[in-house]
Amino acid sequence: MSGLEQAPVGASPQRGAGANPVATALNAFFRRYGLQSGTVLMAAIIWTIFAIGSPETWLHRDIYSSLMSTVPVTQSGIIALTLTFVVIAGEIDLSFGSIMAVGTWVFMSCPQHELGLIAALAAGMGVGLLNGFIVVRFGIPSLVATIGSWFFWGGIVIVGTGSVGAGTSGGFVTNLLTGRIFGYVPAEMPWMLAFAFVLWGLLNRHRFGAHVYLVGDNEQSARMMGVRTGRVRMGVFALNGTAAAFAGISSTLEAHYFWPTVGSGAMLPTVAAVFLGGTSIFGGRGTIFGTFVAAFVIGAIEPGIISLNLTGFYTQVIYGAVIVIALIVQSAFRGRAER
């Protein structure tokens, strides 16, 4: 090209590590997977504490069967996976608890489960799209818009049902979503794995995911480079709404009873899982893997506390602490990685 002789550039981030290939590789690994390594380490520490405190619980397989049914839907681990998209895109959705209720209500209102499932997923996607539309079209911060939508849709379901619940029936969909494989593994678990796999592909190997990262990182840049940022932002809300409807139905079928307040307790653990998994509150950074692991850590906190003979009231204290600590750790990590 121009025949210019440039000095080797770009060595700035890790000067001195270049000589040793092992150190370089390790350094590169931690720069890329540092947060995920942290999440896994923390999961191991928490498990060890629980296992020492109550080996009869944590070294027995029943607790894991139980976690595999509660973490994916009741604790809304599946929603945490899609909420990861929302947060990477630089947004937040706090309305998913109510979308769980909307989806389940639509499902329960249909005479037929198969049809009901499709209608409910469509309803969840619709409410999500509406969230996205309000945020994008009117420029309202998603925090505020989805708090509004959380109250609104929660209220609609309470009014629509007269706050009266109903029992669920068995059948194909019930078995599909909540059956037990070999009488032990709850169907929720393969569902969560399937969601994780597909969403990982969508985030890391699809144009949509690439645009989600770009929008959350620098929306203006993305727009200037031709990314249709409005669509991407609406897309993440639609995705989250769809997953919320799914989780609402699944948790309702698991409980055999439709509570119109289903999902009202989902917010804290779900949001906690996303941040604990290393997804940046400022957008542009986050992984499905991190959220997946963190969802199980969060899900294990309540049974863990009870197994240690502490009162369950501590659960909320710990969720809150986890969110704040995760954010502080992230912030410290970011400061090191970027400056």
Nearer to another protein, 18 or 171 (CB): 18
Least distance in Å: CB of 6 to another protein? 5
d(CA 228, CA 89): 13
Q: Is 185 helix (H, G, I), strand (E, B) or coil?
A: strand
Sort 66 into a burial class: Cβ within 10 Å, 0-12 / 13-18 / 19+.
Answer: middle
Least distance in Å: CB of 137 to another protein? 21
Least distance in Å: CB of 113 to another protein? 30
Nearer to another protein, 164 or 225 (CB): 225
Nearer to another protein, 277 or 303 (CB): 277
Tell me which residue of 289, 314, 332 sits closest to 81, measured CA to CA: 289
Nearer to another protein, 144 or 224 (CB): 224
The whole-angstrom distance between residue 230's C-alpha and the CA centroid of its chain comes to 22
Nearer to another protein, 163 or 204 (CB): 204
Least distance in Å: CB of 200 to another protein? 13
Nearer to another protein, 183 or 335 (CB): 335
Supply the DSSP symbol for 44. Answer: H
* Contact set with another protein (CB under 8 A): 1-4, 6, 8-14, 17-18, 24, 28, 32, 201, 204-208, 210-211, 213-214, 217-218, 220-222, 224-227, 280, 284-285, 338
Angstrom CA distances, 13 to 6, 10, 19, 38, 177, stand at 18, 7, 14, 21, 48
Strands 257-258 and 185-186: unpaired
Least distance in Å: CB of 274 to another protein? 17
d(CA 166, CA 134): 33
Tell me which residue of 179, 177, 196 sits closest to 250, measured CA to CA: 177
Least distance in Å: CB of 329 to another protein? 17
d(CA 227, CA 218): 11
Least distance in Å: CB of 156 to another protein? 34
d(CA 109, CA 116): 7
Nearer to another protein, 13 or 55 (CB): 13
Residue carrying structure tokens 């706090």: 94
